Amino acid sequence: MAGWLEKMTADAARLALPPGRHPAQELARYRHFLKIQSHRLKILHRNGGGGREVCRGRAAMLDLVLKNLFAALQGLAKPGEWQPIALVAVGGYGRGELNPWSDVDLLFLQERPAHRGASHPALALIGEGILSDLGLKVGHATRTAEECVAEANKEMQSKTALIEARFLCGDEKLFERLKKLLFKHCVKGRETEYIAARLADQEARRQRFGNSPVMQEPHIKNGCGGLRDYQNLLWMTYFKYGVGQLDELVKAKMVYPAEARDLEAAYDYLLRVRTELHYQCPRPQDILTKHFQPAVAWQLGFKERSAWVRIENFMREYYNHTRNIYLITRIVEQRLALDPQAGRLLPNLPRFWRKRATPVIVDGLRIQGNQIGAASPRVFDDAPPRLMRVFLLAQQRGLTLEPALVQLLRNKLHLVNRDFLHSPRVRETFLEILNHRGSVGATLRQMHEVGLLGKYVPEFGRLTNLVQHEFYHQYAADEHTLVCLEKLDQIWEAKEEPFQRYRDLLRTVEKPHVLNLALLLHDAGKAGNSTHHAEDGARLAQNFAQRMALDDAATQQLCHLIKHHLDMARISQRRDLNDAQVIAHFASVVETEEQLRLLTLLTVADLLGTSEKLWNGFKDSLLWQLYQKTTDYLRGIRPPAEEAEKQRQLLALELARHLPRHIAEEELYAHFKHLPVRYFQQCSPQEILLDLELAHQFMRRAVDEDLDSGLASLRPILHWTPLPDRGCTELKLCTWDRPRLFSRIAGACSASGLNILSAQIYSRADGIALDTFYVTDARAGGPVTKEQREQCTHLLNRVLERGDVDLYAAIRRQQLGASLYFAVGGERLPTRIHIDNESAKTETVIDITTEDRLGLLYAISQALADAGLDVSWARITTEKGAAMDSFYVTHRYEGKLTSPRTQSAVRSKILGAILALDSQR
């Protein structure tokens, strides 16, 4: 770097202009310099240059340009014609750290306000657009020192930017005066106010960007463990202790040398990643999306051919660094009492001394206030099981670990040897921690942060910083597991729906340690890159249960939960829960009510821990419906066929008493005669009455209206019902049954900006179709708007009455935006078609998973119609750009799709329709 800087400084001599020459006339000279030096910086970076080294080189490059421009402009005016000025770098440029697309923030510091005296000629840098003409994105301000102080005291970010100010050129006395005024009026006496604002900003920032250092798509600058966390620590220590550099913190014994080395390495690595990301865009970009990860990884030395393997190795290293920044900065904040709200201890220095509560010694551990520490440095050497007992004690008494204890625990992990792993005392302590309802997740997180959890449970430890390639996962595998456990703790404390009913389930669980173990190990199989991680995880759990000396019943329960932990979400979201066979099959899987309760709780925690954005009222209602129906089945509440027919007759009599006056009993009995038995098992009395009303209106209009060409009779009767609690709208439709009816309705909904969540389709024997669709606003989610209802109603009338609408063109006009699914390194989400003849008694279920595309549902439904299939029920799911759709179908002549030839033909039709969509892009 030193040699390159010397060469660059020598090259900058060519930037000096002849006397009287204006820089605007010599922009080519400056552009050439910037181009050459930027290229050399890129070569330096690509050859392994450090992140900080390259960023400082970029700042030095701009220093040379600005100083030469400033000198040239100042030389154009006679001395005394303008008031003194200093050119000052602020913000990141003030720190001397610039990534390729970082903003260049400048302060033109004047002696007097701008309206008094002649302006300095250097202001032409901005006023005449010289810097923007050079392609630089510049933020600037022109102020006096007093104006800077006033601005700094208005807003924390401005204060921080000015504290990092760096003199470039001009009147240095002005700059020195500014620094003195800033310290006197903006720092001294305002330390507590600044730190409180910093902590509030830090909390809001972390919440906004995921509150975890291992996000699947991390924000390099503002995310947890990002660049800002490191910078925040130094800003706060400067304000509180007057120490603003890491090496100064080490000298003051506020930070351990090992911590400083880890922080420096992590910060340098993140700057290097950010630089490469800027090169890849190229534009200001701080979110390391999956789209860019393969290319960034390749340029940083990860040369694996598979993009997925490359991402996994690269992100694991990235996560190691962000975890270090997050954990170390947090522990230093505690050690230095930077967070007054957390009851932290102050450094053991006379000027920071304060009275503390009398300590209590328990099992060699010191309890003082709300913190727990070590009474002796040898507390764990004397009794290694205390490594586990300290966490039980902290959990039971609601204590936080002293920073010194955290460091001691990390230093003593070598004590976790074979004897420790097989110690009955340690095992009993660990299981007791898992039995403590409501605080298991937080305790296991503490254990993981010091490294103990992964050492004691290596099946979990192998998940540390493991990238999860599933598009819907938000966190690395270990973080996902801990979030799941924390979500279960939140359910224990829940006071409102929808989680209150799950809380009631949790309170009936007899062995909470089994449920918590199942959550801890449910993704353990992913560490081996298995395609069947649930089965592999169950095998790992079997070995772990033996090590934990669990009894046979608990072992069987643990393995069962892990093996089937995906089933409940899949069945509730992709199967017809009104189909008795679906419930019977699921009941045979869970076997007992206790198993059902545990699996329900595990599923809720797993879904919430995957990504809160993927959980909604609709999925909650489906999951709860599956739980209730399966509970009834396990309790034997399922009437035989004779009883079902009797119930249907009683239902008809009951509905006859509630018929509106305008509907005759003959219509009711025709309704019962023309619909299958399962319709009356699946629909509530209110839904049946509504369907009867729609059928009455439809038939009445067909009789009363003057049907010139017979087309009006094809127009449907529609009924819209908002369902805000489920986050969707119900659309009921009554019309004549006909080929491609489902396809046309699906196309009209898509063309109106509606997303279909599920569909239930019934056809009466007299030719009347009664279809129910649950739809949402495709852009914003949630119930559909009035305008969308009106548009869809108009389009459905046209499509079903005349069929003269080009639905593909109408769908394209929606411009719903690009798919959220990004292909990684060319490895796209494959289209999978699964034909299932086991889940339903009379229908075949076709499961389709593929990348979402504009008009996909319409194309698939057209393909199903082309293959001679009738759709009786559908569940449509689109998440993060992936479509996961299920259709209950029967062939018009063959019934269920049992013929391999027919199955092959159906697959070909569907694949062909999807490929045809791609060709239209």
- Clarify whether residues 627 and 729 are in a common domain: no
CATH of the domain at 394: 1.10.110.30
Burial class (CB in 10 A: 0-12, 13-18, 19+), 222: middle
pLDDT per position as a tens digit, 6-19: 888 888 888 888 88
Rounded to whole angstroms, the Cα distance separating 845 from 577 reads 13
Exposure string of 520-530, with b = 16+ CB inside 10 Å and e = fewer, is: bbbbbbbbeee
Mean pLDDT within 444-455: 96
Residue 330 lies in a domain: yes
Residue type, 433: I
- Return the percentage of the chain with pLDDT > 70, whole number: 92
DSSP string for 339-362: -GGGTPPPPS-GGG----PPPEEE
Residue 865 lies in a domain: yes
- Clarify whether residues 841 and 705 are in a common domain: yes
Q: Where does the pLDDT of residue 576 fall: very low under 50, low under 70, confident under 90, or very high at 90 and above?
A: confident
Q: Which SS3 state, helix, strand or coil, does residue 28 take?
A: helix
Q: Where does the pLDDT of residue 115 fall: very low under 50, low under 70, confident under 90, or very high at 90 and above?
A: low
Token digits for 419? 């004897």
- Clarify whether residues 383 and 297 are in a common domain: no
What's the confidence (pLDDT) of residue 472? 67
Residue 193 lies in a domain: no
pLDDT above 90 (res 919): no
Backbone angles phi, psi at 519, to 5 degrees: -65, -40
Residue 351 lies in a domain: no
Q: Find all residues with CB under 8 Å of 159, minimum gap 6, and list them.
A: 152, 153, 186, 194
Mean pLDDT over all residues of the chain? 88
- Clarify whether residues 760 and 803 are in a common domain: yes
Mean pLDDT within 835-851: 91
Domain final residue, candidates 593, 617, 636? 636
What's the confidence (pLDDT) of residue 346? 33
pLDDT above 50 (res 348): no
pLDDT per position as a tens digit, 713-728: 778 999 999 998 788 8
- Clarify whether residues 502 and 619 are in a common domain: yes
Q: Where does the pLDDT of residue 180 fall: very low under 50, low under 70, confident under 90, or very high at 90 and above?
A: very high
Token digits for 921? 């892009």
Mean pLDDT within 496-514: 87
- Clarify whether residues 806 and 901 are in a common domain: yes
What's the confidence (pLDDT) of residue 830? 84
- Clarify whether residues 473 and 447 are in a common domain: no
Q: Where does the pLDDT of residue 577 fall: very low under 50, low under 70, confident under 90, or very high at 90 and above?
A: confident
- Clarify whether residues 486 and 631 are in a common domain: yes
pLDDT per position as a tens digit, 616-662: 788 888 899 999 999 999 998 876 656 667 777 888 888 888 899 89
What's the confidence (pLDDT) of residue 561? 96
Among the listed residues 452, 448, 435, the one whose alpha carbon sits nearest the alpha carbon of residue 475: 448
Are the beta carbons of 482 and 445 closer than 8 angstroms? yes
- Clarify whether residues 410 and 549 are in a common domain: no
What's the confidence (pLDDT) of residue 801? 85
- Clarify whether residues 168 and 235 are in a common domain: no
What's the confidence (pLDDT) of residue 824? 53
Peptide bond into 84 cis (omega under 30): no
What's the confidence (pLDDT) of residue 345? 34
Residue 198 lies in a domain: no
pLDDT per position as a tens digit, 756-815: 888 888 888 898 999 999 988 887 778 999 999 999 999 999 998 877 788 888 887 775
- Clarify whether residues 783 and 875 are in a common domain: yes
Q: Where does the pLDDT of residue 116 fall: very low under 50, low under 70, confident under 90, or very high at 90 and above?
A: low
Among the listed residues 744, 509, 474, 798, the one whose alpha carbon sits nearest the alpha carbon of residue 615: 474
- Return the percentage of the chain with pLDDT > 90, whole number: 60
Rounded to whole angstroms, the Cα distance separating 125 from 118 reads 16
Domain final residue, candidates 324, 342, 360? 342
Are the beta carbons of 843 and 906 closer than 8 angstroms? no
pLDDT above 50 (res 352): no
| Cα distances (angstroms) measured from residue 410 to each of 136, 214, 416, 452, 676 | 47, 20, 11, 8, 66
What's the confidence (pLDDT) of residue 618? 80
Mean pLDDT within 82-90: 91
CATH of the domain at 272: 1.20.120.330
What's the confidence (pLDDT) of residue 532? 84
Residue 757 lies in a domain: yes
Residue 684 lies in a domain: no
pLDDT above 80 (res 1): no
What's the confidence (pLDDT) of residue 706? 52
Residue 651 lies in a domain: no
pLDDT per position as a tens digit, 462-502: 999 988 876 667 889 999 999 999 999 999 988 777 788 89
Exposure string of 848-886, with b = 16+ CB inside 10 Å and e = fewer, is: bbbbbbbbbbbbbbbbbbbbbbbbbbbbbbbbbbbbbbb
pLDDT above 80 (res 450): yes
Question: In which residue are the tokens 């993927």 written?
Answer: 614
Among the listed residues 137, 146, 139, the one whose alpha carbon sits nearest the alpha carbon of residue 101: 137
What's the confidence (pLDDT) of residue 644? 66
| Beta pairing, strands 400-401 & 104-110 | unpaired
Q: What is the pTM of this model?
A: 0.80
Mean pLDDT within 869-882: 81
Q: Where does the pLDDT of residue 339 fall: very low under 50, low under 70, confident under 90, or very high at 90 and above?
A: low
Rounded to whole angstroms, the Cα distance separating 463 from 483 reads 14
What's the confidence (pLDDT) of residue 344? 38
Give me the domain span that covers residue 126.
Answer: 2-188
Strand order of the β-sheet with 360-362 is 360-362, 365-368, 371-374, 400-401
What's the confidence (pLDDT) of residue 237? 93
CATH of the domain at 112: 3.30.460.10
pLDDT above 60 (res 711): no
- Clarify whether residues 225 and 281 are in a common domain: yes
How many structural domains compose the chain? 5
